[in-house]
């Protein structure tokens, strides 16, 4: 991580099953230490190394343990854009004695994904719906933990304009802020939000970079990306070397955040979504406007070594973009009720 400005420190996470989690939580003296959770999650999160989800789970686990010390009742969790429930399900499995499983809710528009949720994590309330629907959210009640993991970039991407042939950025950013405001309204006083998503990295977005592909496959996949990525036009100029192109820092960031999906089944949906929408400054401004106090903010690249195995970047002093952001924030006023 490039930066970690936090009064909170030392987090790690995952889950196994409710029965195993009960056994683990019975080991009270050990389970109360960060060292225990570091050990517990070290192996449990290995399958998520390349997904970015692990960072959100690590942070959420630490936040659950922190909030649980301030309230005598089990915590209620809400995840918006829950997909197949892996994140919230993992957390509830691991922290079954700290959370109210039956009062926790996951929302998604994908009926098939929710069917998987109900099979994998029975007891949780899984709701089919659009999490930008204020009326839907108003009917859910209040929650102690709100998860927004790779969710708001989908709201941004829905701002695609056929007339422009790309995302209408000002309108799409406004949609994201409105969705965040509605989501934050689901937090109980003192409740916490964990956001993990794409980031417009710092620096000049129009800086020209030379990208040298380290294999024919990497070059072919880039060409497929440039043809099929819908949110924005990708402008790349062929240069003198056959395995090299020149493009802007912004378009390079868009490429590296999508490269793990190219030529895979998920590409059919991923090619319609832009992970990048706000810069760090914009995230801070939006959170402040919505009364959310940032407790921790970190920018990071997900699996940077994998990207470097595909491409080399010139100029040589160009920093590899920090293309993701993790934010822990607290709703205004009071303790958890």
What are the C-alpha distances in Å from 59 to residues 34, 123, 150? 12, 23, 14
Q: Are 310 and 207 in contact, with CB atoms under 8 Å apart?
A: no
Residue 308: is its pLDDT beyond 90? no
Residue 85: is its pLDDT beyond 90? yes
Residue 18: is its pLDDT beyond 90? no
* 223-265 pLDDT tens trace: 999 999 999 999 999 988 889 999 999 999 999 889 889 989 9
Which residues on adjacent β-strands are paired with residue 279? 200
Residues, the chain: 337
- Give the residue from 273, 260, 293, 283 showing the smallest Cα distance to 199: 283
According to the model, what pLDDT value does residue 44 have?
78
For the chain, percent of residues with pLDDT exceeding 70: 87
Q: Are 40 and 12 in contact, with CB atoms under 8 Å apart?
A: yes
Residue 288 pLDDT grade (very low, low, confident, very high; cuts 50, 70, 90) = very high
According to the model, what pLDDT value does residue 333 have?
65
Q: Are 42 and 66 in contact, with CB atoms under 8 Å apart?
A: no
The rounded distance, in Å, linking the Cα atoms of 153 and 151 is: 6
Phi, psi of 136 (to 5 degrees): -60, -45
Q: What is the mean pLDDT of residues 181-192?
A: 95
According to the model, what pLDDT value does residue 11 have?
34
According to the model, what pLDDT value does residue 250 have?
94
152-161, 224-233, 318-327, range with the lowest pLDDT: 318-327
What strands lie across the sheet with 208-213, from one edge to the other? 236-238, 244-248, 208-213, 311-314
H or E stretch at 257: helix 249-258
Looking at CATH, the fold of the domain delimited by 3-199+274-302+322-331 is given as: Rossmann fold (3.40.50)
According to the model, what pLDDT value does residue 47 have?
66
Q: Which residue has the tokens 């965040």?
A: 180
Average pLDDT of the chain is 86
Instruction: Compute how many other C-beta atoms are within 10 angstroms of the C-beta atom of residue 303.
Output: 15
Question: Higher model confidence: residue 193 or residue 70?
Answer: 193
Residue 6 pLDDT grade (very low, low, confident, very high; cuts 50, 70, 90) = very low
For the chain, percent of residues with pLDDT exceeding 90: 67
According to the model, what pLDDT value does residue 49 have?
55
Q: Are 184 and 193 in contact, with CB atoms under 8 Å apart?
A: yes
Residue 14: is its pLDDT beyond 80? no
The first and second tokens of residue 189, run together, are: 């006083």
The first and second tokens of residue 21, run together, are: 């989690």
DSSP class of residue 320 equals: P
Going by C-beta distance under 8 Å and a sequence separation of 6 or more, which residues neighbour residue 114?
82, 106, 108, 126, 127, 128
Q: What is the mean pLDDT of residues 55-67?
A: 92
Residue 51 pLDDT grade (very low, low, confident, very high; cuts 50, 70, 90) = low
- Give the residue from 315, 314, 319 showing the smallest Cα distance to 304: 319
- Give the residue from 307, 314, 312 showing the smallest Cα distance to 210: 314
Q: Are 293 and 189 in contact, with CB atoms under 8 Å apart?
A: no
Residue 99 pLDDT grade (very low, low, confident, very high; cuts 50, 70, 90) = very high
Q: What is the mean pLDDT of residues 69-90?
A: 93
Per DSSP, the three-state class of 293 is strand
Residue 189: is its pLDDT beyond 70? yes
Where in the chain are the domains? Answer: 3-199+274-302+322-331
The rounded distance, in Å, linking the Cα atoms of 181 and 289 is: 9
């Amino acid at each position: 991580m490039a930066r970690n400005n936090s009064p909170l420190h030392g987090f790690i996470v995952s889950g196994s099953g409710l029965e195993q989690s009960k056994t683990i939580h019975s080991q009270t003296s050990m389970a109360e230490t960060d060292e225990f959770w570091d050990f517990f999650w070290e192996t449990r999160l290995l399958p998520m190394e390349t997904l970015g989800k692990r960072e959100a789970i690590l942070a959420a686990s630490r936040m659950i343990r922190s909030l649980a010390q301030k309230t005598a009742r089990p915590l209620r969790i809400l995840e918006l854009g829950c997909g197949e429930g892996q994140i919230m399900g993992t957390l509830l499995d691991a922290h079954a004695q700290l959370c109210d499983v039956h009062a926790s809710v996951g929302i998604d528009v994908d009926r098939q994904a929710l069917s998987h949720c109900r099979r994998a994590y029975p007891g949780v309330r899984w709701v089919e719906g659009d999490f930008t629907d204020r009326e839907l959210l108003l009917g859910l009640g209040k929650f102690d933990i709100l998860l927004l993991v790779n969710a708001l970039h989908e709201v941004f991407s829905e701002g695609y304009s056929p007339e422009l042939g790309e995302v209408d950025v000002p309108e799409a950013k406004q949609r994201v802020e409105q969705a965040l405001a509605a989501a934050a309204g689901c937090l109980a006083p003192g409740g916490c939000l964990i956001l993990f998503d794409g980031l417009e990295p710092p620096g000049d977005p129009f800086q020209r970079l030379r990208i040298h592909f380290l294999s024919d496959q990497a070059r072919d996949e880039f060409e497929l990306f440039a043809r099929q990525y819908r949110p924005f036009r990708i402008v790349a100029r062929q240069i003198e070397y056959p395995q090299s192109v020149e493009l802007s820092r912004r378009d390079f960031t868009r490429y590296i955040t999508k490269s793990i999906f190219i030529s895979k089944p998920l590409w059919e949906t991923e090619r319609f979504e832009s992970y990048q929408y706000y810069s760090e400054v914009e995230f801070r401004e939006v959170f402040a406007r919505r009364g959310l106090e940032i407790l921790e903010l970190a920018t990071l690249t997900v699996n940077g070594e994998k990207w470097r195995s595909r491409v080399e970047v010139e100029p040589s002093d160009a920093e590899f973009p920090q293309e993701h952001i993790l934010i822990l924030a607290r709703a205004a006023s009071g303790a958890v009720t």
